[in-house]
């Protein structure tokens, strides 16, 4: 059935499904890294950027 969807629709569906998942995983990883270190690290800042980018994708797709 997946093959019957157009390429644009498949991309849209993947973005709608994956954006919230990526945001949640990035947020949880960033929180875990920040708990282990007293100050934000490069990794946690990068994960926060990924989280905000996923949030932007979600807002654009709504």
* pTM of the shown model: 0.76
Q: Crossing angle of helices 7-36/42-61, nearest 10°?
A: 150
pLDDT in tens, the chain (62 residues): 666 778 888 888 888 888 889 999 999 999 999 999 988 899 999 999 999 998 888 888 77
Taking Cα atoms as reference points, which of 13, 25, 33 lies closest to residue 53?
Answer: 25
CA-CA-CA-CA dihedral for 6, 10, 16, 20, to nearest 10: -170
């Amino acid at each position: 059935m997946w093959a019957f969807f157009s390429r644009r629709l498949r991309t849209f569906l993947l973005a709608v499904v994956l954006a919230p998942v990526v945001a949640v995983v990035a947020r949880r990883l960033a929180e875990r890294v920040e708990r282990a270190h007293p100050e934000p690290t490069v990794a946690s800042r990068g994960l926060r950027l990924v989280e905000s980018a996923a949030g932007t994708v979600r807002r654009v797709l709504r």
